[in-house]
């Protein structure tokens, strides 16, 4: 939903009761258990990039794709060999993070 030039989404930050504003536009979690990936992606969207990466480094068992408000795509090392940006997204910066 957009109102007065601001876009609002459905992921609520429990600390503020407002839509999360973590600097992330999209979070994808890739793993073996869909329900866990869904829950983690929502939590990471609220937590933000640094906390999501820290959690991944400490716990592992899944991979991440984070798309930031700065037009940066951050992926974990497990996705590196199979991940490419489609044509038309060449302006995005791609960063691979390692444990």
Domain count, the chain: 1
Higher pLDDT, 96 or 2: 96
Q: What is the mean pLDDT of residues 46-74?
A: 97
Range of the domain at 46: 2-97
- For residues 90 and 70, what is the distance between their CA atoms, to the nearest angstrom? 14
pLDDT at position 1? 73
Helix axes 49-59, 34-47, angle to 10 degrees: 140
Q: Full-prediction pTM beyond 0.85? A: yes
Q: What is the CATH number of the domain that holds 74?
A: 3.10.520.10
The C-alpha angle with vertex 10 and arms to 8 and 12, in degrees rounded to 5, equals: 95
Q: What is the pLDDT of residues 7-47, one digit of tens each?
A: 667 888 888 888 888 999 999 999 999 999 999 999 999 99
């Amino acid at each position: 939903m957009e109102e007065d030039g601001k876009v609002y989404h459905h992921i609520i930050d429990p600390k503020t009761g407002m839509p999360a504003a973590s600097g992330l536009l999209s979070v994808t979690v890739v793993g073996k258990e869909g329900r866990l990936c869904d829950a983690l992606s929502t939590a990471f969207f609220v937590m933000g990039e640094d906390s999501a990466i820290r959690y991944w480094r400490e716990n592992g068992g899944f991979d991440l794709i984070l798309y930031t408000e700065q037009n940066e795509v951050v992926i974990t090392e497990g996705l590196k060999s199979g991940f490419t940006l489609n044509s038309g997204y060449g302006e995005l910066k791609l960063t691979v993070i390692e444990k």
